[in-house]
Amino acid sequence: DSGVTQTPKHLITATGQRVTLRCSPRSGDLSVYWYQQSLDQGLQFLIHYYNGEERAKGNILERFSAQQFPDLHSELNLSSLELGDSALYFCASSPPGRANQPQHFGDGTRLSIL
Amino acid sequence: KNQVEQSPQSLIILEGKNCTLQCNYTVSPFSNLRWYKQDTGRGPVSLTIMTFSENTKSNGRYTATLDADTKQSSLHITASQLSDSASYICVVSAQLGTYKYIFGTGTRLKVLA
């Protein structure tokens, strides 16, 4: 158990809809990262938050947004969903300190768009 | 273009044997290189993290090497076990103002009894 909790584990919805994925980081970790893993593109980095502030952006679509709250949990919002958004969405957290800290991943939210 | 390539795509070995997985990258400017193990349906688990100045790092039966000059890394698994069956993913971090993470497509390892 990595200590990172993601909810829900599975989500099935239709095209055009909006969903929110939630992540609770490990106790003491200030950084939260979001990743997308699809069959055709592998793992991709989406966005990184540190103590409530956005730190880095990767290949995150404009239809997607994220935030980290004062209690350090994070939410990834996906809107105007398309079939291609079907994927596993992972959250990871890491402790404060040097940039080379290990990231601890949750077990993901599997999003299926019908 | 920043890219990470892993080889082989898949590998089958017998329990108890050793194996080596390769990772070549063209990421610049390089910050660090990570190896992850990912079991099917689970999140990746960190094995090693290496910076530019580190040549070798071990984590139990896993040993990673890094040659920053040739931009190559390898992950050596010693005395493989059935539980080593998983995907192994190489990730290179680039510091371009902020950090970016570029993932390889992974090597799928199957260990047979």
**What six digits make up the tokens of A64?**
């997607």
Q: Residues near A39 by Cβ (< 8 Å), separated by ≥ 6?
A: none
Q: How confident is the model at residue A14 (pLDDT cuts 50, 70, 90)?
A: very high
Q: Which chain A residue's Cα is nearest to B35?
A: A102
Cβ of A92 within 8 Å of Cβ of B43? The answer is yes
CB–CB of A45 and B103 under 8 A?
Answer: yes
pLDDT in tens, A20-68: 999 999 999 999 999 999 987 789 999 999 999 999 999 899 999 999 9
CA-to-CA dists, residue A105 to A20, A25, A26, A47, A50, angstroms: 18, 9, 10, 14, 16
Asked if the model's pLDDT at residue B21 lies above 80, the reply is yes
Closest by Cβ to B98, choosing from A33, A56, A105: A56
Residue A21 burial by CB count (10 A; 0-12/13-18/19+): exposed, middle or buried? buried
Assess whether pLDDT exceeds 80 at residue A69. yes
A102 DSSP 8-state letter? P
Q: How far is CA A19 from the centre of its chain?
A: 12
